[in-house]
Structure formats: structure tokens, C-alpha cells
Amino acid sequence: MGGSHNTEILILNAYNNYVDAHIARGVLEEEGIHCWLQDENTLTIDPILTNAVGGIKVMVRKEDAQKAWDILERIKQEQKAAVTCPKCGSHNTEKVSTPRKPMNWLSAITTFFLGEYAIAVDMMHHCFDCGHEFKITEEENNVE
Ligand SMILES: [Zn+2]
């Protein structure tokens, strides 16, 4: 097709936590898709700014975007299948974020200036079948 020297970089997805962004990158790299995490440096210096800069963005080349998206969707389905509602046993669940109460003066001040979304979140799962919301203990994922 030509014109490969003029590669466009697109934002594939944005994550509000470091771990999810790194898992996504790890999966994509494993599938042979090169990607970049934007705002990673900002986050490492001051994690509280995550939402202020719109989360950690996963960037891919335009020509890889569709394939990359399909891979992330597949991973999402697999993660979903791995979660079982403790109440009704359904796999029809989704990970949702619940804002956490301010823990210290810094997050309290950040909340004051940036609103609720600047605060770290607790990850909960919502069951679409019975409406139950539950927290699961996520094991340390050493994706190396
Ligand atoms: Zn349920």
C-alpha cells in the first residue's frame, strides 16, 4: 500500500490504573502489536493525577488499531468469564469503579480542585443478572 513512513498513532484505549494499562500492553506486545503507554511518566511521579490527565492511554499504529481492539475485546470477555457472581453464579458481570473516600490531606485537596474522579478507586464487579455488586480479591498478576 505504501506510505508506511507516515504512520499515524491512535489512542486505542485509556485506563484509570497502571496495572490494567500494563496488562493490556503486555497482551498486545505478545500478539506482535507494538504499543505505547502515554502519561506513564506523569503517573509514576504522582499517581493521584491519573484521572486528571485522562488516564493512561494505550497508543497503537493506525494499521494495528482494529486488530488491537479485537484482542482487547477478547481479553475483556475472558476476564468476564473468569469472574463469577457469588450470589447467582452468573458470568454476566462487569468491572466497575467506585470512588474511594479521601484518605489523606493530599487526596482531599486534589478532590477539592479536581472533583471526585481524582481519587483512587475501588474495583467492584457488577452482576447484570441479579444486580449484586461484589469485590473480588485480585491475585497478583506477574505478567512477565
Ligand atoms: Zn448475580
Tens digit of pLDDT at every position of the chain (144 positions): 444 456 788 889 888 777 788 889 999 999 999 998 887 555 454 555 555 556 788 899 999 999 999 998 888 888 778 888 999 999 888 877 655 554 555 555 555 555 544 444 566 888 999 999 888 755 444 444
Ligand 1 being an ion, which residues bring their Cβ within 5 A of it?
A: 85, 87-88, 90, 127, 129-130, 132
Ligand 1 center to residue 39 CA distance, Å? 36
Outline which parts of the chain fall under CATH 3.30.70: 1-82
* C-alpha span between 94 and 58 (Å, rounded): 21
9/26 Cα distance (integer angstroms): 18
What pLDDT was estimated at residue 119?
45
> Residue 4: its pLDDT value, please?
47
CATH 3.30.70 fits 1-82, yes or no: yes
Tell me whether residue 77 is exposed, middle or buried, using C-beta atoms within 10 angstroms of its C-beta: 0 to 12, 13 to 18, 19 or more.
exposed
CB 13 within 8 A of CB 72: yes
